[in-house]
Structure 1
Amino acid sequence: MTPLVCVHGFMGGSAQWQAQREALGPDLAVHAVDLPGYGESAHLDAPCQIAGFARWVLDQLREQGLERFHLMGHSMGGMIVQEMVAQAPEQVDRLILYGTGAKGMLPGRFEPIDTSKQRAREDGPRDTARRISATWFLQRDESPAYEACAAIAERASLQSIVAGLDAMRDWSGEDALSDIHARTLVVWGDHDRTYPWSQTERLWQSIDGASLAVIPNCAHAAHLEKPHLFNEIVGDFLRAS
């Protein structure tokens, strides 16, 4: 069975995918990475380019002997997996682009990236992590999943926060969408404050044969807000012949 590799987003970590490990694990091996600067890899400096993150993940997978895999990326992780497909298209079987888009500089983001950078320097990493994490949930900091998610985000250093924001700001994968030939699923929470519908629609319409799943009453972290529905959608996509 082809394994599934999960790539978290900005200020995320592999621990965010625990519900997916538990639900999908009986059917396929689930591998969740910790990007440099985040989660269990918080001691490493984060690259300042999306392509640098992609190379790092591919190197890690090669070291683990994973030569072909399904690939799921969330938010910034969705940018990274698009770059992974561009760098190593022969290694990716199926692709899941979740809560993400084809460019990092988003006019519809809850606040401009440069504002996030300035506030991170003024407020410090911990307050930044808690403030931004709240925007990922429909009920903000009152969501049952918020505290655990914020605790993971708090591990990020100021360096990794600024580097991640720079990486997203300077990245665009719009010209490469037509080159994605892996069978693709696009997933979006209908109240996402980070990625507007226009970005989701662009992925869905530009990648040949892409499928779309819109999860209702969720914001940016649908896999934490409605894990059962999210896992059913992902599992059905990966099991389909």
Structure 2
Amino acid sequence: MTDRLYCRESGASSATPLVLLHGFAGSHHVWDSVIEALGDEVWVLAYDLPGHGASLDYPGKPSAKAAAAAVLDDLRQRGIGQAHLGGHSMGGAASTLLAATAPDIAASLTLFAPGGFDERINGPLLRRYAAARDTAALETCLREMSGPAAVIEPATVDRALVMRLRDGQLDVFLELGAAITRGDKQGVIPQDMISAIPCPIAMAWGTRDAVLPAPHLASLAAKISFEWIDEAGHRLPEEVPEAVAEMLIRQMTVTSGT
């Protein structure tokens, strides 16, 4: 067991880093194409969340709240005083909680179909995804989670299957999947907590997301900049990495004032 999260670090380390947090049953690899699109000048810290991938043995029960605390602890250990935060799905909820509980850390917050903003959730699909243990089952779930034009790369499926075959990984996914979809509703981050986040917040959602319906726009904090990504599904970092990278860069640029 390790008390340190796995983190893929890339790019120049002379500026405020960009922290990327993946969704449920994923890993840092979901950001691979986004990181490539960002280029070498952006300092990126892409984590495996507790209970996922190379952070499978991180102590404690995995959750968005636990992920936020673990990432914050790792940033503190690295001596990083401020970071741009980017999160997808469950990682979006974790990023939001991190920004809310440690506002001094968050330079900006960019969310891609984040969890925790609306109680609606496709519980049956996520539970099937948690249980998928062969190529056919995993491909079926990934296709249902994607927009109609998305390509499911064989390497993506193979990498996910290798991760799931590690002792204990599937058990974690099954338990966590059941917890986050209990009653086919997800937990919701309090609105006042979101409204109190001082940094700029941007959010994107695919128009064909079958996992998490976008929250009602009227319920979003007025400070959140929202945009739709046409015909994209739930897997935005993998479906539209260039658009995701552009949005992250835009947020970082606005924050820096350049």
Deviation, 1:6, is 0.2
Q: Are positions 1:112 and 2:134 aligned together?
A: no
Alpha-carbon contact 2:92-2:112 (below 8 Å) kept: yes
Match of 1:89, SS state, is coil
C-alpha contact 2:209 2:232 (8 A) present in aligned 1: yes
C-alpha contact 1:193 1:219 (8 A) present in aligned 2: yes
Aligned twin of 1:24: 38
Q: Name the counterpart of 1:201.
A: 217
1:172 aligns with 2:207: no
Structure 1, unpaired ranges of 5+:
none
1:144 aligns with 2:147: no
**Whose helix fraction is larger, Structure 1's or Structure 2's?**
1
In the alignment, the residues of structure 2 paired with residue 147 and residue 21 of structure 1 have an alpha-carbon distance, to the nearest angstrom, of 20
Q: Deviations over 1:12-35 (max 9, x none)?
A: 111111122222243320110011
In the superposition, relative to structure 1, how do residues 44 and 90 fare at CA in structure 2: closer, same or farther (>3 Å)?
A: closer
Q: Give the CA deviation at 1:149.
A: 3.2
2:208 alignment counterpart = 191
Query: What's the TM-score once normalised by structure 2's chain length?
Result: 0.77
Aligned twin of 2:226: 212
Q: Distance in 2 between matches of 1:49 and 1:101?
A: 11
**Structure 1 position 233 matched with structure 2 position 247:** yes
Shift of 1:193: 0.9
Distance, in Å, in 2 between the alignment partners of 1:3 and 1:120 is 31
SS in structure 2 at match of 1:238? helix
Deviation readout 1:165-217 (Å, 9 max, x if unpaired): 245346320332222221001111111111213x16267x31x4221221112
Aligned partner (choices 50, 62, 75) of residue 36 of structure 1: 50
Q: 2:6 aligns to what?
A: none
8 Å CA contact 2:142–2:152 kept in 1: the answer is no
Q: How many residues align?
A: 230
Q: SS of the residue aligned with 2:212?
A: coil
Q: Aligned-residue CA RMSD in angstroms? A: 2.7
